[in-house]
Structure 1
Amino acid sequence: MRTAASDISMMNIFFLLEALLLVDGVFGVDETVSLSVIKGDSVTLKPHTAIPEDDTAQWWFGDLIIAQMNKAAGLFSTSEGDKVGFKDRLNLDKQTGYLTITNIRTNHTGDYNLKIKSTVEKSKIFSVTVHDAMKSLSVMEGDTVTLHTGVTDIQRGQIQWKSGGVPIADLNEDLTIRNIQRDQSGDYELEINTTSMILHRKLHITVSDEMKKVSVKEGESVTLNTGVTEIQGYDLFWMFGDDVIGNINKETKHTYDSKDTRFNGRLQPIGKSGDLTISDSKPADSGVYHLNMSSSSHTVQRNITVTVKAIDHSMPIWKKIVIGAVIGIVIAIVFAIVFRIVTKSWPCRKKTLDPVPSGDMDLLESNLNKESDTRNTH
């Protein structure tokens, strides 16, 4: 059986629920939209909240007012932002209340809060993160270049890529250019239009025809270049075959050098440029080395072929002939010198006949004559 007390209690519950629904309908639930952009982008924040003609809407950056508008009063101001680091960077749409930040900088990272003043205040928050990534990059012919959008959950028709102002792709993802060539140098533009924002980005690509084949002699050092003077905001790694032989992590700044026994301590520490140097090269170092550099705005992949020419330690025939001839001449010279020294040391011996005395000669002649007469008598 229902009592008066129970009826009152039920009515109180209904009134409470109605009041909660009313409050939720008037105040709404603060919505936070997270956005990730790159330094230099132009980004438009779209609150999608109806702003009454006679109401005042204010854009806040943290606890600072940077723009405000009141249609009835003809108030459209961004001068507040000029005073707190947004000079000449803010544009306010007079119809929609959309706020555009041009050439956004890293110090513009933070929460942007749209507050609409009326009987009850409504609010929408955009949490914007600005990455310090390069907007101009230099690559080599044959590289694979991927330009990142930096956003997720994009639906078809919300992304448009252009090159030199001409549409080149209507994608729902990053733009990848494989085997890039010199005639593909230029400006690449990205436009993203979602329910929460409009983003414009421009990146400039310069393609050079630097050699991607390196040939050295055994024992020489070989350096593989990244093409940049300083690695900032990159995740970078070098690979040889299936092995990572060096990398840099943009978050931890950790540099790893391979302990691979093939190199045996011959890999030089990776410096600020990310270049890889192999000292005292060996023929076994020949092969394809893979570079991967990834940032918030783009990824570059590169293959460099290294050839280490082995030194032929065997002696060529002509060299053997020359050396043999030289050795023969040296031996002949040495022999001649020795012979000369030896012959000079011998005593000089000459055989001479002693002269016969004249008396003996007369006696000999007389005896010969007598012998001749005796033969004639007989």
Structure 2
Amino acid sequence: MEGDSVTLHTDFTDIQSRDHILWMFGPQETRIAELYKQSIDMFDSNKIFGDQRLLLDTQTGSLTIRNITITHIGLYKLQIRSDRGNSDKRFSVTVYAPLPVPVIIRDSSQCPSSSSSSSSSLNCSLLCSVLNVTDVSLSWYKENSLLSSISVSDLNISLSLPLEVEYQDNNTYRCVLNNTITNQTQHLNINDLCQMCSDSVEYSHLKAVMLSLVSALVGVAAVALLYRS
């Protein structure tokens, strides 16, 4: 994850004075750290890592990348030259940005009226969404059972996954966003999101206006009758 410290190990427990350790990064195999005769040299000509981010262990030759970011994704090459023999190792490093918490909303365009006689048989339409994610899966679970899932590997894409549940459903639902090392979960509260629709504000205002007009007309009629009598 971004912000973590990652150590690439040489598998040596004790570097000898004549051992030559060289670390390189990227397709151009740019030198970034070197250990020879107990002397350390750090290279960062492209300013990819910055000051104090790389740490080379003088005892083992292992390389630590502190406060790692997605700009440090790529191939790292270790070259070892010593009296005990020569060897090369490669490390592929993938860095994940923190995952956002999924957001669950309902499709209000399909919200049934509270006066509907068949509302108990209707479904509540929901949508779980996330923005700007990479190499993740988005899934709906009912209790511990997987209902549906969608996966992407594209960079900074937005995902949405629909779900329909019955009104007054007592089961537990959750929407989960995950990659290979972490996840974020949003639990569904059916009672909060899946409520029957009340009359619209416009319709309520119209009824109030009509009632006021009727009351006014009744009052006028009563005054007219009294005047005539």
TM-score (norm 2): 0.56
Please report the RMSD computed on the Cα atoms of aligned residues, expressed in angstroms.
Answer: 4.3
Higher Rg of the two aligned structures:
1
SS of the equivalent of 1:134 reads coil
Aligned partner of 1:68 among 31, 34, 37? 34
Equivalent residue, structure 2, for 1:292? 176
Q: Cα 1:305–1:86, aligned 2, differ >3 Å: closer, same or farther?
A: closer
Is the CA contact (8 Å cut-off) linking 1:66 and 1:84 kept in structure 2? no
Q: Once the 2 structures are TM-superposed, how far is the Cα of residue 76 of structure 1 from its aligned partner? A: 0.9
Letter of the 1:86 counterpart? F
Q: Once the 2 structures are TM-superposed, how far is the Cα of residue 43 of structure 1 from its aligned partner? A: 1.0
Q: Deviations over 1:312-338 (max 9, x none)?
A: xxxxxxxxxxxxxx9xxxxxx9xxxxx
Greater Cα shift, 236-245 or 109-118: 236-245
Letter of the 2:91 counterpart? S
Aligned partner of 2:139 among 208, 226, 237? 237
Cα distance in 2, alignment partners of residues 243 and 46 from structure 1: 38
Q: Cα 1:115–1:231, aligned 2, differ >3 Å: closer, same or farther?
A: closer
Gaps of 5+ in 2: 105-109, 115-123, 199-213, 215-220, 222-229
Cα distance in 2, alignment partners of residues 111 and 42 from structure 1: 17
Equivalent residue, structure 1, for 2:49? 86
Cα distance in 2, alignment partners of residues 273 and 81 from structure 1: 37
Q: Once the 2 structures are TM-superposed, how far is the Cα of residue 285 of structure 1 from its aligned partner? A: 4.2
Equivalent residue, structure 2, for 1:129? 93
Cα distance in 2, alignment partners of residues 230 and 285 from structure 1: 31
Q: Cα 1:55–1:217, aligned 2, differ >3 Å: closer, same or farther?
A: closer
Aligned partner of 2:150 among 237, 242, 248? 248
Q: Size of the alignment, in residue pairs?
A: 176
Q: Cα 1:296–1:219, aligned 2, differ >3 Å: closer, same or farther?
A: farther
Cα distance in 2, alignment partners of residues 239 and 93 from structure 1: 45
Letter of the 1:114 counterpart? L
Cα distance in 2, alignment partners of residues 108 and 310 from structure 1: 51
Identity between Structure 1 and Structure 2 (%): 25
Q: Once the 2 structures are TM-superposed, how far is the Cα of residue 273 of structure 1 from its aligned partner? A: 5.9
Cα distance in 2, alignment partners of residues 243 and 103 from structure 1: 35
Aligned partner of 1:218 among 95, 99, 112? 112
Equivalent residue, structure 1, for 2:120? none
| Greater RCO (CA < 8 Å, at least 6 residues apart) | 2
Higher strand residue share: 2
Q: Cα 1:131–1:98, aligned 2, differ >3 Å: closer, same or farther?
A: closer
Q: Once the 2 structures are TM-superposed, how far is the Cα of residue 125 of structure 1 from its aligned partner? A: 1.3
Q: Deviations over 1:115-137 (max 9, x none)?
A: 233457522414232133316x5
Higher helix residue share: 1
Where do 1:124-163 residues align within 5 Å? 124-134=88-98, 138=101
Equivalent residue, structure 2, for 1:315? none
SS of the equivalent of 1:272 reads strand
Letter of the 2:32 counterpart? I
Cα distance in 2, alignment partners of residues 125 and 243 from structure 1: 40
